[in-house]
A and B are shown apart, each in its own frame.
Chain A
């Protein structure tokens, strides 16, 4: 049973066909790389899965059941965690506060509920340790390196029993050295049994961590194959259109 399945999903914005009948499957414990040039429909696909907007046609299935999301909170409740391209972090808050933003641990009685800072800092610290990141829960995100920020965003996905993680260009805006750090984070997520959909247009990243690669071109899926049976040259050709399909 696929963790996530898209069945001929299309998304139109007026006359613009951002996605045309895309089929996609993400299996248990798999890292699927989704590649494509700018404007190929990658971000639209992420947003359809994450519930930012519904598909015009087609179905999204989670664990075999059709789902309909109208906002990100709904997809998260169903076990889809998203690491957004800009990480969706608040610089003015601590690492722990960011990890728990929107689902704080509270204590109290009756209508009086207050934040349990100790429990949140401890849990966040555990998550960072699991991810082998030296991020400290009480540090402000403003003071952190790109890699530490990624760790905060990824730690967030570990709070609930997520079924899958969508990562939108996690290595797009960070330094070369930090890319290695982030790829390590992705591998650790995979080793813990998480299914991951990695959206990227960095060829080396996809070939370093993915089991399978799918290519979008102008809103259509033109390839979907085992990464071992492909090559960076082939994928480049598929992205640009030099190879029409594989």
Chain B
């Protein structure tokens, strides 16, 4: 910062005021967004793979599979961005999926209709998220520890409830329930979009509107930017904090409902280590773990990138055990990129 002696009382003539006049143009904002570069990377990867493997990669069938597979993680990642935007983290989403899967399986197994299973499943996610949120906002424990505890609790409850069995006899509610996760929208002969993808797209749009157009979306980012400032300006910080963990829990539950519908069975191990994929998707898409920065599209594109990498590695004949290495390397690179961008901005 320069400290030019100012000649007049109205001091807005120094070099820094002039520098401060630069408003970012839409183009600059686009180039500054991590999700933009991830989109480019994804496009390049698809182009290269289509060239290398035109017979297997660039097929409508493969497109259908990749997009369905990343939809489950994408939906979880949407909920995760909201938590990360406040500067928090939710490690319990994978276990919440397991709990939700078992809850749905038991309800269907007992012969109740599909909507009862959906409601009970969502309620399981809601409850776990509410407990997380209340402890974090009102007791004041750290999000990391609280949701780590819930990771253990929800999984253990899922195992107990399921009696450690796989649930697949779904009774009369089964067919409709399975349709949500397993169904598809036929656009043309041989080209279909899975229902999970359609849900993901709809939820991404919804969350984007919430971030951009609602006071709640702004409060979430404000809490992550400067929690004390949010508090002093009258933002209901504790309430919003509870709500973000509820949103995350509900997102995980919804992903589980679709996943159970798609696979046709409910296991208590569903979602093991998915919390890492959901966090990775959000962060690769540009969410800042320090809070204050997150976008719905970032979660979508981050999940898409992760699953395209996995798919590409498989197709290239790389041992699937290496997938974690690649995803992890991308995650670290994404955080590093974010750090560079942050340093340039300050």
Residue ranges of A at the interface with B (Cβ–Cβ < 8 Å): 72-73, 76, 82, 84, 86-93, 97, 101-104, 106, 113-115, 132-136, 138-140, 142-148, 156, 175-178, 180-181, 184
Given contacts A90-B230, A142-B346, contact A104 B215 (CB under 8 A): yes
Cβ B23 vs Cβ A139 within 8 A: yes
Cβ A97 vs Cβ B218 within 8 A: yes
For window 16-35 of B, CB contacts with A under 8 Å fall at: 16-17, 20-24
Cβ B292 vs Cβ A134 within 8 A: no
What are the 6 closest A-B residue pairs judged by CB atoms, nearest first?
A: A90-B225, A102-B234, A88-B229, A92-B292, A92-B225, A102-B233
Given contacts A101-B233, A134-B20, A134-B21, contact A90 B12 (CB under 8 A): no
Cβ A101 vs Cβ B9 within 8 A: no
Given contacts A115-B218, A132-B10, A145-B17, contact A88 B233 (CB under 8 A): yes
How far, in angstroms, from A242 to B306 measured CA to CA in the complex? Answer: 69
Cβ A181 vs Cβ B11 within 8 A: yes
Cβ A84 vs Cβ B292 within 8 A: no
Is residue B325 within 8 Å, beta carbon to beta carbon, of the partner chain? no
Within the complex, what minimum Cβ distance (angstroms) separates B97 from chain A? 30
Question: Chain B residues with Cβ under 8 A from A82's Cβ?
Answer: 232
For window 179-230 of B, CB contacts with A under 8 Å fall at: 212-215, 218, 221-222, 224-226, 228-230
Within the complex, what minimum Cβ distance (angstroms) separates A139 from chain B? 6
Cβ A93 vs Cβ B222 within 8 A: yes
- Which has the most chain A C-beta neighbours within 10 Å: B1, B12, B21, B233? B233
Summed over the interface, the residue pairs from A and B with CB atoms below 8 Å come to a total of: 113
How far, in angstroms, from A140 to B225 measured CA to CA in the complex? Answer: 12
* A interface footprint on B250-291 (CB within 8 Å = 1, 0 otherwise): 000000000000000000000000000000000000000000
How far, in angstroms, from A140 to B214 measured CA to CA in the complex? Answer: 18
How far, in angstroms, from A82 to B16 measured CA to CA in the complex? Answer: 27
Is residue B321 within 8 Å, beta carbon to beta carbon, of the partner chain? no
Which B residue's beta carbon lies closest to that of A116?
A: B213
- Which has the most chain B C-beta neighbours within 10 Å: A93, A104, A132, A144? A93
Within the complex, what minimum Cβ distance (angstroms) separates B220 from chain A? 11
Cβ B4 vs Cβ A177 within 8 A: yes
- Which has the most chain B C-beta neighbours within 10 Å: A88, A101, A103, A156? A101
Which A residue's beta carbon lies closest to that of B342?
A: A142
Apart from A134-B21, A135-B20, list 7 A-B contacts with CB within 8 A.
A76-B234, A90-B225, A91-B226, A101-B218, A113-B215, A184-B10, A184-B11
Given contacts A115-B214, A136-B23, contact A180 B226 (CB under 8 A): no
Is residue B150 within 8 Å, beta carbon to beta carbon, of the partner chain? no
Question: Chain B residues with Cβ under 8 A from A72's Cβ?
Answer: 231-232, 234
Question: Chain A residues with Cβ under 8 A from B226's Cβ?
Answer: 88-91
Cβ A181 vs Cβ B20 within 8 A: no
Cβ B292 vs Cβ A90 within 8 A: yes
Question: Chain A residues with Cβ under 8 A from B91's Cβ?
Answer: none
The residue that A145 contacts in the complex, of B16, B215, B230, with Cβ under 8 A, is B16
Given contacts A88-B229, A92-B292, A181-B11, contact A106 B3 (CB under 8 A): no
Is residue B235 within 8 Å, beta carbon to beta carbon, of the partner chain? yes
Is residue B14 within 8 Å, beta carbon to beta carbon, of the partner chain? yes
Within the complex, what minimum Cβ distance (angstroms) separates A217 from chain B? 28
How far, in angstroms, from A132 to B8 measured CA to CA in the complex? Answer: 13
The residue that B232 contacts in the complex, of A84, A92, A146, with Cβ under 8 A, is A84
How far, in angstroms, from A101 to B292 measured CA to CA in the complex? Answer: 14
Which A residue's beta carbon lies closest to that of B292?
A: A92
Cβ A177 vs Cβ B230 within 8 A: no
Cβ A139 vs Cβ B20 within 8 A: yes
Within the complex, what minimum Cβ distance (angstroms) separates A136 from chain B? 6
How far, in angstroms, from A175 to B345 measured CA to CA in the complex? Answer: 20
For window 324-346 of B, CB contacts with A under 8 Å fall at: 345-346
Within the complex, what minimum Cβ distance (angstroms) separates B85 from chain A? 9
Question: Chain B residues with Cβ under 8 A from A180's Cβ?
Answer: 6, 9, 11
